[in-house]
Structure 1
Amino acid sequence: MTAHTTGLHHVTAIAGDPQANIDFYIRGLGLRLVKKTVNFDDPSTYHLYYGDDAGRPGSLMTFFPWGQVAPGRIGSGQSTTTAFSVPEGSLGWWQNHFRALGVDASITRASADEERLSLRDPDGLQLDLVASSTTDPRNPWDSSFVPAEHAVRGQHSSVLTVANPEHTLRVLTEDLGLRITGETSGRTRLEAGDGGAGNIVDVVADPSGPYGLVAGGTVHHIAFRVPDRATQELWRQDLVERGFHVTAILDRQYFTSIYFREPGGVLFEIATDTPGFNVDEPLLELGRSLKLPPWLEPSREAIEASVAKIDVPEDNNELAPQNDQPVGGIAG
């Protein structure tokens, strides 16, 4: 192998109403909108990025909110659950918080060391909040909607559901460099880099379940981290030589990306940690205005007329908290 991923970079999902999406992820989950841009392949719709104060890899959840999109079907060949890391002992607060917002959320215990709160976002996307006995050292976004002592620290893990896990596990271990750290009936846990929250993938076998349909309320793809473009180029060459159909390197303005589909059907992305979300606006201004890449700037007037009007809470641009982790990535 040329490279090993150091963990999760982001998860991208399909949403409907962009305002409902903003309200849930800012006011409900307490994340920061770190970039308001458009889908570079379809500039008539937004691409919304949420994360910590600077949008560090491993904190990111992104959406294509396509308005009146048809509902999808969660099933095999997808990333079926996206989990966020929260402090131990905080799930009672979160359950009450969501109850006040009219969101059903139930607590389940996955193991002696891990407790989960399961819920769905306004489009039906499956989410978990995971409270682990292992402290997550990442700093939360200092949101006025969620107290810091309970706030999301970043991604915890993603669940991949596939009919036959054997080939998916081989790709994750042999081609992406994750290692198997636990197995229970029908579920295998893998970890990247230093392990722990933000570096975990759970593969679930579901040979008889329905195949997923990507549309509203489903994950479009899951992205893994690579430090820079030079490493990404070597990794792409390695994947092509191993027989994968890999896209060219695509400029996403805040990182570069390659995509390929693993044998179980899940679309994987490998995204760089750099240059980061402050490349086109100051840290304190992230998410405030519509940002376009240089090649779309000539069409700004038409794009602004085509996208829905949305309201971003002023709290999204309060003074950002200090964080001792670099903007390009989280420590480790």
Structure 2
Amino acid sequence: MVAATSGLHHVTAIGGDPQKNIDFYITGLGLRLVKRTVNFDDPSTYHLYYGDEAGQPGSLMTFFPWKGVPKGRIGAGQSTSTAFSVPAGSLGWWSEHFAALGVSSEITTEGSEEERLSLRDPDGLQLDLIASSIADPRNPWDSASVPAEYAVRGQHSSVLTVQDAAGTVALLTDDLGLKVVSEVGDRTRLAAGDALPGNIVDVISDPSAPVGLTAGGTVHHIAFRVPDHETQELWRQDLVSRGHQVTAILDRQYFTSIYFREPGGVLFEIATDTPGFDIDEPLLELGRSLKLPPWLEPSRDDIEHAVIPIVVPGENNPADHG
């Protein structure tokens, strides 16, 4: 193993109506839309990126929203739950906040070390808010809807459900450099470096789980962090030498990526921390306008007519209303 990941980079899921997606993740979850672009493989639909103020790796949740997309099935071979880190003692506020928005939520885990509030987004995607006894030092996005004292600090962890965990755990440890933190029943917790929020993956072994169907309300892939392009290239060569079917390095404009499937069927991405989301618009203006990579810019008029019109809440860019 030539490198070890420093944690989660982002999670990408499939949504339905893009306006409902925007309203939930900005007003409901209190994240910032840090990039409004398109799916580079299907420019007729958006690729929406949410995160903290600057869209730092480890804070990111991204979506391909297709209005009218068929409903998927959450199951084996997928990331079946995405958890965000929130401050200790904040779940009561979050429960009231979601209730006011008409969103059902339930505290499913209570304890001295970790409390969990479970809910689903408008497309049925399984989400959790985790209030951990381990303080999360990351700065939140202080939005109008969610005050900083309660706000999401970034990703906490992802749950991978597979029918046989042995190969998945072996890949995470041997090829990605994670370490096993605990094993309780059918759940193995692993972490990159210290077991801090944003570094954690839980693998659930469920031989009877139906194979997931990737469509609306399911996770498409999860991405792990690598610092730069050079490290990514070395890591790709190493993964290929270990027998993995790895894509070429793909330019995602704000990072570069490689993809491969782990033995349990979950699609993994390794994404660079650089160059970041402020390469084509200033920090204060992130998410305000549709951004296209240079190779799609000549088709801007066609793309703008193809995508569904959306309205981004003013709280996403407070300077516009200051």
* Number of equivalences: 320
CA distance in 2, matches of 1:287, 1:147: 20
Work out the percentage of aligned pairs sharing the same amino acid: 76
State the match for 1:120 in structure 2. Answer: 120
Residue of structure 2 in register with 1:205 after alignment:
205
Partner of 1:329: none
Q: What RMSD over aligned residues (CA atoms) do the two structures have, in Å?
A: 0.9
Tell me the CA shift for residue 195 of structure 1: 2.7
Q: Which amino acid aligns with 1:112?
A: S
180-189 or 191-200, which deviates more: 191-200
Conservation of the 8 A alpha-carbon contact between 1:14 and 1:216: yes
**CA deviation vs aligned residue, 1:177-231 (integer Å, no higher than 9, x gap):** 0000011000000000333100000000110011100000000000000000000
> Given residue 278 of structure 1, which amino acid in structure 2 is its aligned partner?
D
CA–CA distance in 1 between the matches of 2:169 and 2:110?
Answer: 21
**For 1:145-184, what aligned pairs fall within 5 Å after superposition?**
145-184=145-184
In 2, the alpha carbon distance for the partners of 1:258 and 1:110 equals 37
Task: Quote how far apart the aligned CAs of 1:318 are.
Answer: 1.5
Residue of structure 2 equivalent to 1:328: none
Q: Is the 8 A contact 1:6 1:194 kept in 2?
A: no
Counterpart of 2:75 in structure 1 is: 75
The answer to whether residue 95 in structure 2 is matched with residue 95 in structure 1 is yes
> What are the within-5 Å matches in structure 2 for residues 1-332 of structure 1?
1-109=1-109, 111-319=111-319
Deviations 1:2-52 (A, max 9, x none): 100000000000000000000000000000000000000000000000000
Partner-residue secondary structure (3-state), 2:295: helix
| Aligned amino acid, residue 154 of structure 1 | G
Q: Which amino acid aligns with 2:27?
A: R
Kindly provide the CA deviation profile for residues 257-303 of structure 1, in whole angstroms up to 9, marking residues without a partner as x: 00000010000000000000001000000000000000000000000
Q: Which amino acid aligns with 1:98?
A: F
Asked if structure 2 preserves the Cα contact closer than 8 Å seen for 1:116 and 1:128, the reply is: yes
Q: CA deviation at 1:111?
A: 4.4
Q: CA deviation at 1:110?
A: 5.5
Runs of 4+, deviation exceeding 3 Å: none
Q: Distance in 2 between matches of 1:282 and 1:2?
A: 35
- By how many angstroms is 1:115 displaced? 0.3
SS, match of residue 149 in structure 2:
coil
Residue 319 (structure 1) shift: 4.6
8 Å contact from structure 2 (residues 179, 193) kept in 1: no
DSSP-derived class of the 1:239 partner: helix
Query: Conserved in 2, the CA contact under 8 Å of 1:85 and 1:136?
Result: yes
- Alignment-mate amino acid for residue 131 of structure 2: A
The answer on whether the counterparts of 1:116 and 1:131 sit within 8 Å (CA) in structure 2 is yes
Q: CA deviation at 1:142?
A: 1.2
Amino acid at match of 2:83: A
Q: Which amino acid aligns with 2:240?
A: V
Please give the alpha-carbon distance, in whole angstroms, between the structure 2 residues aligned to 1:213 and 1:112. Answer: 36
Structure 2 letter corresponding to 1:78: Q
CA distance in 1: counterparts of 2:249 and 2:218, whole angstroms: 25
Gaps of 5+ in 2: none
The CA distance in 1 between the partners of 2:224 and 2:120, in whole Å, is 23
| Structure 2 letter corresponding to 1:165 | A
> 2:181 touches 2:195 (CA, 8 Å); kept in 1?
no
Distance in 2, Cα, partners of 1:266 & 1:151: 29
Q: Which amino acid aligns with 1:96?
A: E
Deviations 1:102-156 (A, max 9, x none): 1100002264300000000000000000000111000100100001100000000
Once residues 201 and 110 of structure 2 are traced to their aligned partners in structure 1, the CA distance between those partners, rounded to angstroms, is: 15
